[in-house]
C-alpha cells in the first residue's frame, strides 16, 4: 500500500514533468523510477500530439525505455544544445541543493544537466528535506587504486562504503567504475564538501548537485506542486 502511494506520487510528478515539454525541444532524460513515469507520459504526448522532440538519455535503461516507447534518442555529442533536462533526485534541501546517484548514474546525469539550458527535478514529497546527508552521498570512483581512495575518505571521517549488489559484488557504473557511498548523516556545508571532493584524484564525480536545478516538481498523492 505504502509502495503504491509512493509510486502514485512519483507518477504525478512524472506526468507534470512531461507537461513542460514543448514541440521541437531537445530534452535531457534522467534515470530512475520517477523518470520511468516521465518517459511513459512523454511518449504518450509524443504519440497523441505528434510532438517532434529529440531526447538524450543519461543511462541505457532510460534510452531503451524511451526508444521502445517511440521517443527519438540521440547521443549528447550529436545535439548542439538541450532546452530542458528532467531528472529525479534522492534528496533536495530547503535551498534546492540536491543529492543524486542512487541509481549510480550521477556522472552522466551531471554532464547532461550541465549541458542543459534548464533543469527540472521530479520527486515524490519524501525527497524534500531540510538538510542533505541522510541519503548516503554517492561517489563514482575509478577501480584502479580505489582502496587508496577509500582509505583517504575513511581517514577524513567520511564513513565510506563500497556499494554492493545483491550478490555482494561491487556495483559497476555505465563505464565500469565503482560507487562509494559516504554515510554522513548530515552535510552541513555542501559547497565545501563538493569543492574538496572535486579535487580528489580517483573520484570521477560526486552526487552533490549544487546550484543546478531551476524548478522542482513535488509529487503528492493527488497532485504535483511546481516550485517555483
Ligand atoms: C540516479 C538518480 C535518480 O534520479 C535518483 O536516484 C532518484 O531515483 P528514483 O526516482 O528512482 O527515486 O540520481 O542516479
Helix axes 33-49, 2-18, angle to 10 degrees: 40
| pLDDT tens for each residue of 204-215 | 999 999 999 999
Strands 203-206 and 119-124 turn out to be unpaired
Tally Cβ neighbours within 10 Å of residue 159.
14
Tell me: pLDDT of 191 over 60.
yes
Ligand 1 probe mutation, 15, 40, 103, most atoms within 8 A of CB: 103
Q: Does residue 88 line the site of ligand 1, with CB under 6 A?
A: yes
Q: What's the pLDDT tens digit per position in 92-132?
A: 999 999 999 999 999 999 999 999 999 999 999 999 999 99
**Is the distance from the beta carbon of residue 105 to the nearest atom of ligand 1 less than 6 Å?**
yes
Please spell the DSSP secondary structure of 166-207, one letter per residue.
TTSPBPB-TTS-EEEEE--S--S-HHHHHHHHHT-TTEEEES
* Per-residue confidence (pLDDT) for residue 32, from 0 to 100: 98
Q: Which of 78, 91, 109, 131 is catalytic?
A: 109
Active site residue 109: yes
- Ligand 1 atom, smallest distance to 87 CA: 4
Backbone CA torsion sign across 215, 195, 206, 112 = positive
159: left (phi over 0), alpha (psi -120 to 50) or beta: left
Give per-residue pLDDT as tens, 50-86: 999 999 999 999 999 999 999 999 999 999 999 999 9
- With 90 as the cut, is the pLDDT of residue 159 above it? yes
Is the predicted pLDDT of residue 138 greater than 80, yes or no?
A: yes
Evaluate whether 165 touches 176 at the Cβ level (below 8 Å): no
Look at residue 1 and tell me whether its pLDDT is greater than 70: no
- Which among 134, 110, 131 is positioned nearest to 185, based on CA atoms? 134
Q: How many Cβ atoms sit within 10 Å of the Cβ of residue 201?
A: 9
pLDDT of residue 3: 92
> Locate cell 500500500: which residue?
1
pTM recorded for the entire structure = 0.97
Judge contact between 114 and 106, C-beta under 8 A: no
Mean pLDDT of 3-31: 98
pLDDT band at 172 (very low <50, low <70, confident <90, very high): very high
Q: How confident is the model at residue 13 (pLDDT cuts 50, 70, 90)?
A: very high
Which pLDDT does position 88 carry in this prediction?
Answer: 98
Q: Are strands 178-182 and 160-162 parallel, antiparallel or unpaired?
A: antiparallel
Here the cell at position 15 is: 506526468
**pLDDT at residue 209, rounded to an integer:** 99
- 55, exposed or middle or buried, with CB in 10 Å at 0-12, 13-18, 19+? buried
84 lines ligand 1 (CB under 6 A): no
> Alpha helix (H) ranges present in the chain?
2-18, 33-49, 60-68, 106-114, 146-155, 190-198
Helix 60-68 with 33-49: angle, nearest 10 deg: 30
Which ligand 1 atom is at minimum distance from the Cα of 122? 10
Q: What pLDDT is stored for residue 37 in this prediction?
A: 98
Q: Are 59 and 100 in contact (CB under 8 A)?
A: no
Amino acid at each position: 500500500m505504502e509502495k503504491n502511494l509512493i509510486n502514485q506520487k512519483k507518477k504525478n510528478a512524472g506526468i507534470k514533468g512531461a507537461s513542460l515539454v514543448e514541440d521541437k525541444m531537445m530534452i535531457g532524460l534522467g534515470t530512475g523510477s520517477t523518470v520511468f513515469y516521465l518517459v511513459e507520459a512523454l511518449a504518450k504526448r509524443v504519440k497523441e500530439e505528434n510532438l517532434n522532440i529529440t531526447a538524450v538519455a543519461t543511462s541505457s535503461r532510460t534510452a531503451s525505455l524511451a526508444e521502445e516507447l517511440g521517443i527519438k534518442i540521440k547521443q549528447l555529442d550529436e545535439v548542439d544544445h538541450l532546452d530542458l533536462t528532467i531528472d529525479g533526485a534522492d534528496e533536495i534541501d530547503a535551498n534546492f541543493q540536491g543529492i543524486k546517484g542512487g541509481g549510480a548514474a550521477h556522472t552522466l546525469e551531471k554532464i547532461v544537466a550541465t549541458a542543459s539550458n534548464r533543469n527540472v527535478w521530479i520527486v515524490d514529497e519524501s525527497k524534500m528535506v531540510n538538510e542533505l546527508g541522510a541519503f548516503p552521498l554517492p561517489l563514482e570512483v575509478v577501480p584502479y587504486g580505489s582502496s587508496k581512495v577509500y582509505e583517504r575518505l575513511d581517514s577524513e571521517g567520511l564513513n565510506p562504503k563500497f556499494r554492493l549488489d545483491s550478490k555482494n559484488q561491487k556495483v559497476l557504473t555505465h563505464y565500469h567504475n565503482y560507487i562509494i557511498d559516504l554515510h554522513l548523516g548530515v552535510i552541513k556545508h555542501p559547497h565545501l564538501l563538493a569543492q574538496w571532493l572535486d579535487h580528489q584524484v580517483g573520484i570521477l564525480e560526486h552526487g552533490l548537485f549544487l546550484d543546478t536545478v531551476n524548478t522542482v516538481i513535488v509529487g503528492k498523492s493527488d497532485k504535483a506542486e511546481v516550485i517555483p
